A and B are shown apart, each in its own frame.
Chain A
Amino acid sequence: MKSPILLQAEGLQKQYVLGAPKLFGKRAVLNAVDGVSLYLREGETLGLVGESGSGKSTTGRLILRLLEATAGQVHLRGQELLGLAPRQFAPWRRDMQMIFQDAGASLNPAYNVGQLIEEPMLVNHIGANHADRRERANDLLQQVGLKPEHRTRHAHEFSGGQRQRIGIARALAVRPGLIVADEPVSALDVSVQSQILNLMRDMRERHGLAYLFIAHDLAVVRHMSERIAVMYLGRIVETASAADLYLRPAHPYTQMLLAAIPRMGPEAANARRLRTARASAAQELPSPINSGSGNACAFRTRCPRRQAICGSQAPVSREIAPGHSVACHLV
């Protein structure tokens, strides 16, 4: 039994118009997100991976309306959100929370931990009175592995991992159905990273959350997600179940990303040699300026299997197996 669809984004687009290079020159357009569609079921985790500049964070922010989309639609529990007036949108914002990469910077330094967690409840009219909210905050602190005594301390008194715990408690305070987690562990040390990942999985079970899990670390995304979408230059190039994506990556870019991950264990030295022989992953992400909506595949400049058609026609995403879609001419 599949749970109902919680979030559906259709054709999301974000364009930035840059200054003209010359007076009266044509203004350059940067397509940060260029027609992204995705869905998320209740209680599900969708991983969003890609290199920096691929538009994965922008996609997360467009869904939350922290950035206004140039075009596209976002449906949450069937309600279209991007067209709503701010006042009507406010209650929906409660349902979608965010966890940030730099937990320290996302917490108000002047508030103590208790205030940090209680304020969103106050704003969203959760809890009948102060005592109620306080009790809920204490309960949340314990759930995320902190102590109620910590409520009088400030964010700077905590380590990076503990700050991320506070950020999670704060996001949970308003009972969201969806959490957009933007690189939640990439600033943390390895030993702490695994604690936070475990905590996020526990909280998902306990609160029935869905995560949009944005990260550049494919091993972490694989660990956290049921399904994964791979982004390249503002577009989703491949979507598949986590297991499928790792066992049968279809898009050349996904294959390149996977091959670039350093392996551990006995096969490490061999993996290196194999890869050097393939001389893969040449070049870097091209500039997204004026790249979009042309008649070509955005990946062609780096693609080892490039053909004539890749330069003349943009590939359309199609399903190659149940739940596995790829945007590539050669698959």
Chain B
Amino acid sequence: MTAAAPLLCVQDLHTVFDTRRGPVTAVDHVSFELAHGEILALLGESGCGKSVTALSLMGLIPPRTGRVAGGRMHFDGEELAGADTARLRQLRASAMAMIFQEPSSALNPVLSVGRQVAEAMLCHGKCSKAEVRERVVQLFREVGITEPARRYDSYPHELSGGMCQRVMIAMALSCDPQLLIADEPTTALDVTVQQQILDLLHGLRERRNMAVLLITHDLGVVAENADRVAVMYLGKVVEQAPVAELFAQPAHPYTQGLLASMPDLEHEGAPLTSIAGTVPELHARPPGCGFAPRCPQADARCHMAPPPLITLSAARSVRCWQPLLTTGFA
């Protein structure tokens, strides 16, 4: 990690939803940092709170049902928690952007894709009406859309999933973001198209020094594309590490379980190791460690008390009573 101030610093973020069965903590005291130009992966299974973390950052938690209940989100020297909606809107127009899993449903089906990107640029006051078409075509070219001038007038249903995702990325880039939040950007895409989109994100990071918060459940995507990883389970970050270290030596039993349950391309199928049981529901959170009911090495203490955050090295930490590592990577 460099000594320079991070672009984004999240501390003790706490997001709560009101449900019929009472308040539920979807994001539970999550802390992480993201440097300029860095790719941090938020890795976890469905329901672990990774998307809610992103929505909290963007100020997009629906106010009727949920709220950011505590914590700090420091973005480029500015506090996001408690910022008024006008300022958040301004930030979303100028510094941070988000792309989603299902690109075709994030686009408006009755407007041409070019017009949608143009609308975003005009709303954000990025350019005049006269030059907007040219600017959009230029962006389309940057994100690798073939025949960008013709595609301006295409509708979302005329484009493939990969092309729609490129349009979404173009829209995100229209505000020149320093931070791009990519929420499962390739989950709905074929493996060959996934690779193209991830290559595109890498190229953009290099050209624009843009930081990317990559939200995914796919370990392979993380291994090849992230600089660092934060593993989430049941609303908490259970392990943080540089990507190579995490895959070489996981410190949390959950991370280890995830790695072991991936089918391996190189080796033929012996039965897979799997993690027993399923993720508990958020309103029935175990009193101790959230992973204890599924953990092969849990003891009485794990079931009783929430585990502490242990710092293994400058770049690594784990939240576990009995981590698989006690010091940093050798």
Using CB atoms and an 8 Å cutoff, list the residues of chain A in contact with chain B.
51-52, 159, 161-162, 189-195, 197-198, 201, 216-220, 222-224, 242-243, 246, 256-258, 260-266, 268-269, 271-272, 275-276, 281-282, 284-285
Q: Which of B190, B193, B262, B274 contacts A219 (CB 8 A)?
A: B262
Task: Tell me if A194 and B263 are in contact (CB < 8 A).
Answer: yes
How far, in whole Å, are A271 and B220 apart by their CA atoms in the complex?
11
A-B contact pairs, 8 of them (CB 8 A): A51-B193, A162-B278, A191-B258, A194-B263, A260-B195, A263-B223, A281-B195, A282-B196
Give the size range of B's interface with the partner.
35 or more
Task: Tell me if A260 and B191 are in contact (CB < 8 A).
Answer: yes
- Residue-wise, chain B 160-202 has the 8 Å CB interface mask toward A (1 for contact) of 1011000000000000000000000000001111111001001
Using CB atoms and an 8 Å cutoff, list the residues of chain B in contact with chain A.
45-46, 160, 162-163, 190-196, 199, 202, 217-221, 223-225, 243-244, 247-248, 257-259, 261-266, 268-269, 271-275, 278-279
Task: Tell me if A218 and B275 are in contact (CB < 8 A).
Answer: no
* Chain B residues near A198 (CB-CB < 8 A): 271-272, 274
Q: Which of A192, A195, A272 contacts B224 (CB 8 A)?
A: A272
- Give the shortest distance, in Å, between B78 (CB) and chain A (any CB): 33
Task: Tell me if B191 and A219 are in contact (CB < 8 A).
Answer: no
* Chain A residues near B278 (CB-CB < 8 A): 159, 161-162, 192
How far, in whole Å, are A161 and B191 apart by their CA atoms in the complex?
23
Number of A-B contacts (CB under 8 A): 130
* Chain A residues near B217 (CB-CB < 8 A): 189-190
Task: Tell me if B271 and A268 are in contact (CB < 8 A).
Answer: no
How far, in whole Å, are A52 and B161 apart by their CA atoms in the complex?
11
- Give the shortest distance, in Å, between A264 (CB) and chain B (any CB): 4
Task: Tell me if A285 and B274 are in contact (CB < 8 A).
Answer: no
* Chain B residues near A242 (CB-CB < 8 A): 268
* Chain B residues near A217 (CB-CB < 8 A): 191
- Give the shortest distance, in Å, between A310 (CB) and chain B (any CB): 19
Task: Tell me if A223 and B258 are in contact (CB < 8 A).
Answer: no
A185: nearest chain-B partner, CB-CB: B263
Known contacts A190-B261, A191-B275, A194-B261; decide if A285 and B219 are in contact (CB<8 Å): no
How far, in whole Å, are A192 and B224 apart by their CA atoms in the complex?
23
Known contacts A262-B224, A265-B247; decide if A222 and B271 are in contact (CB<8 Å): no
Task: Tell me if A263 and B224 are in contact (CB < 8 A).
Answer: yes
Q: Which of A216, A220, A263, A266 contacts B190 (CB 8 A)?
A: A216
Task: Tell me if A262 and B261 are in contact (CB < 8 A).
Answer: no
- Give the shortest distance, in Å, between B181 (CB) and chain A (any CB): 20
